[in-house]
């Protein structure tokens, strides 16, 4: 099957979320408490996304047609070949068994590689089958390998065809949602990886303090400007002001740009100015605010500092994929991704804080 890039992202994000839900229910029920089954903060488990993608790619090569073709090609060398045609139902059953074995080996290898590399590189153990029979180093076990076979067949015959049908009926919405979710997942991963790399390493902690100082020196002159400081008077995402949000996006984008050896200074400045508009977007402002505010922010930003092309691109393209033209510079990609991540986080934590009285602390902390 020839997949377009957007279909790959769609399958990956959809099944990462679906896999998270399966694990969330299974582990929360078996441990009788809410358990985030993943390493990342959001509700997705990339291993399921990779598994679904792998199956999508290999599935056409494992069809009955291919299997019978190869089998008959081999059998045709035998003298009683004509009578062997009668064995076709048996061969089809063999095909299902062979496919099941293939799925079991592939899924188990994927699970082993994920468990091993998470422990090796991030020092994190997300699951352990040490208490199960037929387990290898706790990363894999027979019971779950059989469950993966069942899941792979369900995926092949029901879930993947349904997902592709759904995609074809609402391609535009599916595209925008899966691209935005993919951006959020990427930032979530980068943050988590950076945090795990810093824990317990004093040299890295000193570097983190230096980074903070560098960031403050970059944004200080912009913060002096009335157009920027007045952002604290506008509520932006639920409980947070627009200044809170802009600073969050700038700080995180600055750090990611540093890791990727991009222009940190321009990234931080463009990110700080990306939502530079002065109205309550839920109650006032222009129609189609989502599409129009990048242009308004750009015009305001030009009053604060002379902008480079890169900074302009960061501001005007930050709403992609809602606005159809994608960012041009890598720095603009970073800000666009971080913006969605921070926006989602603002809402999730805001709602959690509001409901705090009604919901126990352990659920709130689950989302942090
Ligand atoms: Fe925005
Ligand atoms: Fe924003």
Closest residue by Cα to residue 260 from 210, 339, 187, 343: 187
Distance 201 CA to ligand 2 centre (A): 32
Give the pLDDT confidence score for residue 245 in this predicted structure: 94
Distance (Å) from CA 339 to ligand 2 centroid: 5
User: How far is residue 154 CA from its own chain's centroid?
Assistant: 23
Tell me the mean pLDDT in the region 242-269: 94
For residues 75 and 81, the answer to whether their CB atoms sit within 8 Å is yes
Domains of the chain and any CATH numbers: 5-173 (no CATH), 200-367 (1.10.3210)
Distance 217 CA to ligand 2 centre (A): 22
Q: Minimum-distance ligand to the CA of 342?
A: 2
Q: Measure 271 CA to ligand 1 centroid, in angstroms.
A: 10
| Dist. CA 193 → ligand 2 center (Å) | 23
Q: Could you say which DSSP state residue 365 is in? A: H
Q: Which residue is it, tokens 């990342």? A: 40
Strand partners, 292: none
Range among 310-314, 319-323, 344-348, 363-367 rated most confident: 310-314
Q: How far is the CA of 238 from the centre of ligand 2 (A)?
A: 13
The bound ligand whose nearest atom lies closest to the alpha carbon of 245 is 2
Closest CA to 141 of 150, 124, 154, 128: 128
Report the distance separating Cα 188 and Cα 309, nearest Å. Answer: 28
Ligand 1 center from residue 182 Cα (angstroms): 18
On the question of a cis peptide bond just before residue 321, with omega within 30 degrees of 0, the verdict is: yes
Cα–Cα distance measured from residue 66 to residue 287, given in angstroms and rounded to the nearest whole number: 55
Residue 312 has pLDDT above 90, yes or no: yes
Q: What is the pLDDT of residue 331?
A: 95
C-alpha to C-alpha distances, 179 to 19, 121, 174, 206, nearest whole angstrom: 18, 27, 8, 35
Q: What share of the chain in percent tops pLDDT 70?
A: 86
How far does the centroid of ligand 2 lie from the alpha carbon of residue 285, in Å?
A: 16
Q: Is the pLDDT of residue 148 over 80?
A: yes
CA distances from 207 to 191, 203, 213 (A): 16, 6, 10
Q: How far is the CA of 242 from the centre of ligand 1 (A)?
A: 10
Ligand nearest to the CA of 297: 1
Query: Which ligand sits nearest to residue 322's alpha carbon?
Result: 1
């Amino acid at each position: 099957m020839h997949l377009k890039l957007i279909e790959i992202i769609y399958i990956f994000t959809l099944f990462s979320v679906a896999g998270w839900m399966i694990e969330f229910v299974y582990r929360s029920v078996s441990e009788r408490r809410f358990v985030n089954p993943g390493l990342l903060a959001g509700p997705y488990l990339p291993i399921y996304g990779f598994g679904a993608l792998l199956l999508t790619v290999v599935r056409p090569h494992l069809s009955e047609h291919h299997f019978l073709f190869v089998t008959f090609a081999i059998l045709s060398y035998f003298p009683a070949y004509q009578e062997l045609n009668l064995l076709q139902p048996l061969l089809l059953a063999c095909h299902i068994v062979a496919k099941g074995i293939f799925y079991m080996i592939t899924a188990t290898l994927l699970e082993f590689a994920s468990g091993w590399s998470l422990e090796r590189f991030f020092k994190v153990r997300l699951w352990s089958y040490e208490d199960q029979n037929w387990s290898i180093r706790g990363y894999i076990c027979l019971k779950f390998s059989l469950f993966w076979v069942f899941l792979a067949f369900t995926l092949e015959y029901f879930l993947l065809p349904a997902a592709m049908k759904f995609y074809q009926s609402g391609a535009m919405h599916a595209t925008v949602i899966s691209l935005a979710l993919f951006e959020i997942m990427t930032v979530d991963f980068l943050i988590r990886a950076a945090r795990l790399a810093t824990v317990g390493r004093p040299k890295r902690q000193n570097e983190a303090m230096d980074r903070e100082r560098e960031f403050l020196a970059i944004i200080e002159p912009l913060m002096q400007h009335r157009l920027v400081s007045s952002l604290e008077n506008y509520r932006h995402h639920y409980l947070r002001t627009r200044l809170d949000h802009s600073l969050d996006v700038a700080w995180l984008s600055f750090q990611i740009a540093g890791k990727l050896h991009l222009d940190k200074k321009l990234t931080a400045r463009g990110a700080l100015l990306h939502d530079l508009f002065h109205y309550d977007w839920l109650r006032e402002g222009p129609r189609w605010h989502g599409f129009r505010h990048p242009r308004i922010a750009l015009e305001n930003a030009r009053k604060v500092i002379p902008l480079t092309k890169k900074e302009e691109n960061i501001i005007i393209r930050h709403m992609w994929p809602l606005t159809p033209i994608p960012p041009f510079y890598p720095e603009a990609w970073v800000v666009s991704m971080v913006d969605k991540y921070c926006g989602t986080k603002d809402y999730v934590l805001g709602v959690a804080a509001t409901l705090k009285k009604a919901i126990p602390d352990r659920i709130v902390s689950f989302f942090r």
